[in-house]
Amino acid sequence: MARKPKSAAQAEPESLHLTYKELGRRMGVSVDAARMKAKREAKKGRWQIVIGNHPSDKSTVIVPSVDLNAKPERVGAYGEQPHVSPKGRTDAPKQNDKLFTLYTAAQERIQLLTDQLLEAQNDRIELAASTMREMSLAAEVDALQAQLDRALADIEYQRRTWWQRLTNGGQK
């Protein structure tokens, strides 16, 4: 029995042999994403993974060309990055300059306030030291006043007349 030649509609679709890296570039995804996609499609029976004889041999994936002609799943590591204009109400470079200016001014203000805080702390330390000095001097004045009062009492005691000494008069 003679075989009939296959028509173009019955012919197997053209397929490509690609490494994971090549597949990732063609699909616009990373190498790992291409490897995972190939495993998923191989489980479905659509693609075939051919593993090399040696561990250092590259694995290839037999992919029907119709699957690669489809739109890439996403723009990835190997695809072109689309130009995306910033959306919003502000112009990014001008806004960045404003923010940098505000940031610089804030840093200067923080430095000024820090310096003032340090000065205030130094003043507070000086105030505490002068308060302690004042308290020390007040205690010394009180001690000297008590010593002076005793000295005056001794002088007064020594100035008594002889009859006051005999009668023990003039003592307090």
- Tell whether 110 and 159 lie within a shared domain: yes
Q: Sign of dihedral through CA atoms 93, 97, 100, 102?
A: negative
Report if residue 96 sits inside a domain.
yes
- Tell whether 96 and 163 lie within a shared domain: yes
Query: What pLDDT is stored for residue 14 in this prediction?
Result: 85
Query: What pLDDT is stored for residue 57 in this prediction?
Result: 80
Query: What pLDDT is stored for residue 159 in this prediction?
Result: 84
Burial class of residue 31, CB neighbours in 10 A (0-12, 13-18, 19+): middle
Query: What pLDDT is stored for residue 13 in this prediction?
Result: 61
CATH number at residue 27: 1.10.10.10
Report if residue 127 sits inside a domain.
yes
Q: Do 13 and 65 contact (CB within 8 A), yes or no?
A: yes
What residues of the chain score a pLDDT lower than 50?
1-5, 7-9, 77
Residue 66 token pair: 């119709």
Query: What pLDDT is stored for residue 5 in this prediction?
Result: 47
- Tell whether 97 and 170 lie within a shared domain: yes
Q: Over the stretch 53-101, which tens digit does the pLDDT of each residue have?
A: 887 888 889 988 887 766 555 555 455 555 555 555 556 777 888 889 9
- Which residue, among 82, 73, 83, 84, has the nearest Cα to 25 in the 3D structure? 73
- Tell whether 168 and 105 lie within a shared domain: yes
- Tell whether 172 and 132 lie within a shared domain: yes
- Tell whether 52 and 129 lie within a shared domain: no
- Domain span at residue 142 reads 91-172
Q: Whole-model pTM?
A: 0.37
Query: What pLDDT is stored for residue 36 in this prediction?
Result: 93
